[in-house]
Chains A and B, each alone.
Chain A
């Protein structure tokens, strides 16, 4: 039975399989449950006790010990949908979300694909065809020359001559890429070969596609992207911009809306360009058109992400529109029910990505058990996360633990609220970037809104280091905790209830509560 709000929908559905893990699987599963839909999770062996599995009505194990056998295994995911009777698949982001082949296979299996058409994914996913389509549609693209380089035996000659045409510094990108994976900056010709090979390897490991392309590296630009929303009745609107200029090695760290660098005139022009881009591929659903914004106000099309983005919450906070719910509505064939005039912007929202990584050791991934995990809460604070206290952080998956999103009346108060929320985010047992995020927020360049995408990579690390801790006081606290036996207290085992077989007071374990 599809939910009541779908009664008049041309393509109603009732059970959604979420082909993902971690925080985005949790986000989509919660949206499905809110929308009155049944849900199915898929999981790999090592995720069997993960939050997203507990949250779904049903779950299916994807057997195998590599991503190719599990979360990237389209055939197994479709089989899981078949066996559970799921009539729709939501791909989340990453994994299979931008695989046109998978989208096609889902539709061929008679299952509704919650996303744009395979054609739109294919066109936008191939950076070369996307670029030429944008040129044809009158959307500005990055200056410079580009040549596709297929992974293979004699790619280096073609690569070198293309690089000479484009000029240095240049950027090598995975054609199928995203999230900074498979992306490398090359400043001088002698590094071309090694950076190319490493980008190609990362690309094939992360996306199963080693195709690479190159473009001119623009210095001093900001990363500004437009959220678009399109229905299957020719409705297409944009939900303003997000500024994702605070990046480390092309991996977004802090995102905000609105952008401190975008004027109403730029917003309108960029929004129009984004809607044009989406219309040019007959886009349906939620998508993001990424631009580089130069300091003179000129902007250039970077790429279109044909899926929900990690940073979508800052748009939800400032526009009041639930993007995942809209994805479900549009997939069911319902119209957007709103026009561009209905899109409002309220206050300022900032998202900080909390990673299990160690800024003091070159941001190496850190692992371990989340012995204590206490996300902050309060007015204007939202935490999207896929982990719980007691979970193990391994090297198997992306190191993002949570997204901390705040909403406040203006940028200055949003920064204060985010800093305060970060300071009360207690994570013990695994090193995180929380301190680093606070230090970046406190930096005068970020506060003034004047950063570009190079900010984190080019700023002297000492400026992003906090105050030296008072080590004698910390030793005193630890020695006291040891003396007071506070470790034994924390790990005391509660008796097992005879009736339910659960630990602890049965009233606390009767209902499943998360997190």
Chain B
């Protein structure tokens, strides 16, 4: 099992040991390299979704919940996402495609197939929750495919355009 935190690319592996309901980490790698294992001890608090976390000398209550492959962790006043990946699993390779950053409705499509675009060029307008959001070209290139047209609904992460360098 590998882990990533929030939107960061780096992958962690943790070797853990459990005894009497208390878990400690004895080794950890980041992107395949050994890193110093955090001195953390975690145990259930007794009620669902609550964990006692001991880091160094301090003890904190963490709220945890799993949704899909992601563990949501609220600790020390802030919420984080820690996502589980199958061993060796890669992010779906589709380097050339531009993904929808949010679900929404396509209001306008400004780019067509075969068109060359510059970085930052306004390619599409999405509407969600009554607000408009511009989809901009992440880099210069040629639009090889346009997957949606005006009025279509798109899901988060669906491929909007294919861009070739």
Which residues of A are in contact with B by a Cβ distance under 8 Å?
181, 198, 201-202, 205-206, 360-362, 364-369, 371-372, 374, 395-399, 422-424, 426-429, 431-432, 434-435, 438, 466, 469-484, 486-487, 489-490, 492
Contacts and interface: CB of A to CB of B under 8 A. Distances in A.
B7 to A, nearest CB: 6
Contacts of B165: none
Contacts of B30: 472
Contacts of B129: 365, 395-399
Nearest to B18: A483
B71 to A, nearest CB: 4
B44 A372 contact: no
A1 to B, nearest CB: 40
Given A429-B67, A469-B5, A371 B78 contact: no
Contact of B84 (A205, A482, A492): A482
B25 to A, nearest CB: 5
Contacts of B36: 472
Given A481-B66, A484-B18, 15 more contacts: A201-B107, A202-B132, A205-B130, A372-B72, A395-B129, A471-B10, A472-B12, A474-B5, A477-B42, A479-B23, A481-B51, A486-B44, A486-B49, A487-B71, A490-B49
Contacts of A434: 78-79
24 contacts: A202-B131, A206-B130, A360-B7, A365-B102, A365-B104, A367-B156, A371-B66, A395-B104, A395-B128, A398-B129, A423-B78, A424-B77, A428-B64, A428-B67, A428-B72, A429-B72, A466-B78, A474-B82, A476-B42, A480-B16, A481-B64, A486-B48, A486-B51, A486-B66
A431 B14 CA distance: 25
Nearest to B75: A477
Contacts of A361: 7, 101
Interface of B: 1, 3, 5-8, 10, 12, 14, 16, 18, 21, 23, 25, 28, 30, 35-38, 40, 42-44, 48-49, 51, 53, 55, 62-67, 71-82, 84, 101-104, 107, 125, 127-133, 156
A472 B55 CA distance: 12
B102 A364 contact: yes
Residue of B5, B8, B67, B130 ringed by the most chain A CB atoms within 10 A: B130
Nearest to A419: B77
Contact of A423 (B53, B77, B103): B77
B21 A484 contact: yes
Contacts of A422: 77
B21 A478 contact: no
Contacts of A470: 38
Contacts of A469: 5-6, 78, 80
Contacts of A428: 63-65, 67, 72, 74, 79
A428 B81 CA distance: 9
Instruction: Identify the 9 closest CB pairs spanning chains A and B, nearest first.
Output: A423-B77, A480-B42, A478-B82, A428-B72, A487-B66, A480-B23, A478-B71, A490-B48, A395-B128
Contacts of B23: 479-480, 483-484
A487 B65 contact: yes
Nearest to B60: A477
Contact of B102 (A205, A395, A438, A482): A395
B72 to A, nearest CB: 4
Nearest to B156: A367
Contact of B5 (A368, A369, A396, A475): A475
A471 B5 contact: yes
A481 B21 CA distance: 11
B63 A426 contact: yes
A65 to B, nearest CB: 12
A474 B73 contact: yes
A484 B43 contact: yes
Nearest to A429: B67
Given A181-B130, A202-B132, A490-B65, A480 B51 contact: yes
Contact of B130 (A202, A431, A472, A489): A202
B3 to A, nearest CB: 5
B48 A479 contact: no
Contacts of B44: 484, 486, 489
Contacts of A489: 44, 48-49
Contacts of A372: 49, 63, 65, 72, 74
Contacts of A181: 130-131
B77 to A, nearest CB: 3
A411 B23 CA distance: 43
A366 B71 CA distance: 17
A492 B65 CA distance: 13
Contacts of A472: 12, 28, 30, 35-38
Contacts of A397: 129
A475 B14 contact: yes
B93 to A, nearest CB: 21
Nearest to B126: A364
B156 A478 contact: no
B10 to A, nearest CB: 7
